[in-house]
Amino acid sequence: MQADAPPVIFSNDDYASCPRRVASCVVDLVVLALIFSGTQLWFAYKYVPHDVRAMAPSPARQKLFDKHLAPVAGQISLLSLGVVTIYIIPFRQLRGGGIGYRLLGMRLVDATGNPPSLGTLIKRAVIIAILMFIGLMPAGMITALAKGIGPTAKSVVMFAGVVLFMFMAYRPCRTQARRQSVQDRWSGTWIIRKHARSIGRADMKFHTVFLGTWPIRHIELEPATPPDMSHEAAPMARPIASADTP
């Protein structure tokens, strides 16, 4: 948030609706899935022999893939994580934001109506990562522990984990006037329509809750109230001269 810029507020209709936000999230998840898939395909083309890649899909083929890619598994993870980090943090500082925001006509702003700072985006990304971990952890445990589960069943279980993540993240959008998700609420960001314009200045209301003994704070915006002038002294009335005054 820019230190010299005052907080502003937008019309409630200019804050992105819950369905639009969920649709944007789905687009971004597809983009991230393509990034992961593209990274793995590039490493497979480079490190897996052609005769293995030419085999028909089967468990034996998958085992050979895993065998050849095992020495570079760390590189695959680091490269994927790096690309994803660039997409969800620095890329969001652009006025248009990510691909999901651009397709759905939205942009991410802080309390001043400007693109959030790098620190704010990092905080927001950490909250998203925590929510995604909570949503996908049960699905990952099921697919890891269940024996004999097929690829289709694994995909269904992981899809259920993604749905749980989106439910936890975007459920507050349905009830809040300014439609903040969990990650927005605790990082001080808002999603508005692409061409939205502020309707005036805002007052920032700080709310603190305790997570155990750790206080965490979030901001809410309300239309700015005019200054109270009632406490100022009224101007002293001039005495009126009477007829007896010499």
pLDDT score recorded for residue 241: 53
pLDDT in tens, 52-90: 888 888 878 888 888 888 888 888 888 888 888 888 888
pLDDT, position 92: 83
Tell me what pLDDT residue 10 has.
Answer: 94
Q: What's the pLDDT score for residue 104?
A: 93
pTM, two decimals, is 0.77
Low-confidence ranges of the chain (pLDDT < 70): 1-3, 147-151, 211, 226-246
Q: Give the DSSP letter string of the chain.
A: --TTSPPEE--GGGBPPHHHHHHHHHHHHHHHHHHHHHHHHHHHHHHS-HHHHTSPSSHHHHHHHHHHHGGGHHHHHHHHHHHHHHHHTGGGGSTT-SHHHHHHTEEEE-TTSSPPPHHHHHHHHHHHHHHHHHHHHHHHHHHHH-TT--HHHHHHHHHHHHHHHHHHHHGGGGTSTT---HHHHTTT-EEEETT----EEEEEEEEEEEETTEEEEEEEEEEPPPPP-TTSPPPPPPPPPPTT--
